[in-house]
Amino acid sequence: MDSDKTALVLGIETTCDETAAAVVERKGDGSGRILSNVVRSQTEEHARFGGVVPEIAARAHVDLLDGIIDRAMKDAGLGYEQLSAVAAAAGPGLIGGVIVGLTTAKAIAMVHNTPLIAVNHLEAHALTPRLTTALAFPYCLFLASGGHTQIVAVAGVAQYVRLGTTVDDAMGEAFDKVAKMLGLPYPGGPQVERAAEAGDAMRFAFPRPMLGRADANFSLSGLKTAVRNEASRLTPLEPRDISDLCASFQAAVLESTADRLSVGLKLFEEIYGPPRALVAAGGVAANRAIRGALQDIAAKAETTLIIPPPALCTDNGAMIAWAGAERLALGMLDTMEAPPRARWLLDANAGVPAGYANSRAGF
Ligand code: KG4
Ligand code: ZN
């Protein structure tokens, strides 16, 4: 594959509760442009269950995906024969949805004789800042969403070292669970953020998980339990209690995040030297208080903070198309045998320096 050529890639995302397709262009100089980006969130379908129901998500992907791909192609003004490749998120995620997206991509690849690229969803988050910014490797990624909480060294395409991860709940999941126990609607992150604005962060001294530890891992379930215990002690909850609980919870998350990231950045420097940037992605990066804390952490580490625009931080098709385009430029194609994967470690095949490999399996 000639990496100097301009490539047009269709990307498909179905690993969780967003059905999404997009077309991006990658020029030979490495710059990117989004030609279309269609996202249909299934929030309404799942809201009354207080979380994502895998069977409902898979069914919704089946119903929606063809129309969304059609829309993305029309918005881009392209025919399938003009595509350089089709990319799909092949995991990690809810297996039913992953199968729907990957099978659809394989069908398109087969019918139109187009190369197929099976993208790791986490890799797509990791490479997204290069779609909108001329960012060189290596950089440090903080990914915090409903399913993932990781600190990752991004050394190149397909060169990732996971420096830290959560040992229990994902950060967005903790926000969602706290919201649920306080009677706030799903998805809970934005609700907790809003309630926290009016609250007193000093009223409850919740634990700051993992503070001072030499590794860069996160833990959120103990904090979540502490909030639950305090909430049941106070029941029935007044609006004031809810605000104070949210503010105190968020303050604990902020302090823990700052501590974990400062260790992560130190580990990064030991391997690669100073990072070109600290990059944040995932739904939690939409939280203004967390963005503020990240700004401080980046300033202390004397690096730049890059947060892609919100629509590219949360799950979308453009990030899958872009990761596909980056792989295509390096000739990294997949075959029709590419498997859908519920679990797929980002650094599974990377040369992880001794002592930095994190043994915990998972996303
Ligand atoms: O990246 P995302 O859209 O989807 C995946 O989970 O992959 O992230 C959604 C998560 C949810 O858990 C949601 O509650 C959380 O991100 N989130 C937030 C905020 N906005 C979304 N968490 C805290 N504060 C927010 N403002
Ligand atoms: Zn995601």
- Helix, strand or coil for residue 230? helix
Evaluate: CB of 169 within 6 angstroms of ligand 1.
Answer: no
Q: Is the pLDDT of residue 353 over 70?
A: no
**Lowest model confidence (mean pLDDT) among 54-58, 169-173, 214-218, 301-305:** 54-58
Residue 239 sits in the same domain as residue 344: no
Evaluate: CB of 363 within 6 angstroms of ligand 1.
Answer: no
Residue 172 sits in the same domain as residue 118: no
* Alpha-carbon distances of 150 from 185, 205, 300, rounded to whole Å: 26, 25, 20
Does any domain span residue 359? no
Q: Is the pLDDT of residue 145 over 50?
A: yes
Per-residue model confidence (pLDDT) at position 269: 97
- Helix, strand or coil for residue 37? strand
Among 307, 335, 357, the domain boundary falls at 307
* Mean predicted confidence (pLDDT) in 7-29: 96
Residue 270 sits in the same domain as residue 324: no
* Mean predicted confidence (pLDDT) in 62-87: 97
Residue 101 sits in the same domain as residue 155: no
Q: Which atom of ligand 1 is nearest to the CA of 186?
A: 14
Closest-lying ligand to the alpha carbon of 283? 1
| Tens digit of each residue's pLDDT (9 = 90 or more) over 96-119 | 999 999 999 999 999 999 999 999
Residue 188 sits in the same domain as residue 289: yes
Q: Give the sign of the dihedral formed by CA 83, CA 89, CA 95, CA 96.
A: negative
Does any domain span residue 241? yes
Q: Give the sign of the dihedral formed by CA 192, CA 196, CA 198, CA 202.
A: positive
Give residue 302 CA to ligand 2 midpoint distance, Å.
27
Query: In sequence order, which residues have a C-beta less than 8 Å from that of residue 266 and are 6 or more positions away?
Result: none
Per-residue model confidence (pLDDT) at position 2: 46
Residue 48 sits in the same domain as residue 180: no
Q: Which atom of ligand 1 is nearest to the CA of 146?
A: 6
Does any domain span residue 355? no
* Alpha-carbon distances of 201 from 73, 98, 115, 251, 293, rounded to whole Å: 48, 40, 52, 6, 15
Residue 301 sits in the same domain as residue 316: no
Evaluate: CB of 42 within 6 angstroms of ligand 1.
Answer: no
Evaluate: CB of 190 within 6 angstroms of ligand 1.
Answer: yes
Does any domain span residue 1? no
- The rounded mean pLDDT for the chain is 92
Evaluate: CB of 51 within 6 angstroms of ligand 1.
Answer: no
Does any domain span residue 56? yes
Does any domain span residue 20? yes
Q: Is the pLDDT of residue 356 over 60?
A: no
Per-residue model confidence (pLDDT) at position 361: 30
Q: Is the pLDDT of residue 241 over 60?
A: yes
- Is residue 53 very low, low, confident or very high in pLDDT (cuts 50, 70, 90)? confident
Give residue 148 CA to ligand 2 midpoint distance, Å.
7
Per-residue model confidence (pLDDT) at position 162: 94
Domain range spanning residue 63?
A: 7-128+312-349
Residue 120 sits in the same domain as residue 205: no
Exposure on the CB side of residue 259, measured as CA atoms within 13 A: 17
For ligand 1, atom 23, which residue shows the shortest CA distance? 189
Evaluate: CB of 146 within 6 angstroms of ligand 1.
Answer: yes
Q: Is the pLDDT of residue 52 over 60?
A: yes
Q: Is the pLDDT of residue 359 over 50?
A: no
Per-residue model confidence (pLDDT) at position 351: 41
Residue 274 tokens, joined: 């100073």
* Mean predicted confidence (pLDDT) in 60-76: 95
- Is residue 3 very low, low, confident or very high in pLDDT (cuts 50, 70, 90)? low
Q: Is the pLDDT of residue 34 over 90?
A: yes
Residue 258 sits in the same domain as residue 172: yes
Number of domains into which the chain is organized: 2
CATH of the domain at 71: 3.30.420.40
* Surrounding residues of ion ligand 2, Cβ less than 5 A: 145, 315
Per-residue model confidence (pLDDT) at position 264: 98
Q: Which atom of ligand 1 is nearest to the CA of 145?
A: 8
Among 307, 341, 358, the domain boundary falls at 307
* Mean predicted confidence (pLDDT) in 199-226: 96
Evaluate: CB of 92 within 6 angstroms of ligand 1.
Answer: no
**Lowest model confidence (mean pLDDT) among 51-55, 198-202, 216-220:** 51-55
Per-residue model confidence (pLDDT) at position 181: 96
Q: Is the pLDDT of residue 357 over 70?
A: no
Residue 203 sits in the same domain as residue 292: yes
Query: In sequence order, which residues have a C-beta less than 8 Å from that of residue 235 and are 6 or more positions away?
Result: none
Residue 68 tokens, joined: 């969304």
Does any domain span residue 356? no
- Is residue 51 very low, low, confident or very high in pLDDT (cuts 50, 70, 90)? confident
| Tens digit of each residue's pLDDT (9 = 90 or more) over 255-314 | 999 999 999 999 999 999 999 999 999 989 999 999 999 999 999 999 999 999 989 998
* Mean predicted confidence (pLDDT) in 63-70: 96
Residue 171 sits in the same domain as residue 190: yes
Q: Is the pLDDT of residue 352 over 60?
A: no
Give residue 109 CA to ligand 1 midpoint distance, Å.
32
Q: Is the peptide bond before 187 cis (omega within 30 degrees of 0)?
A: yes
Per-residue model confidence (pLDDT) at position 260: 97
Residue 151 sits in the same domain as residue 288: yes
Does any domain span residue 360? no
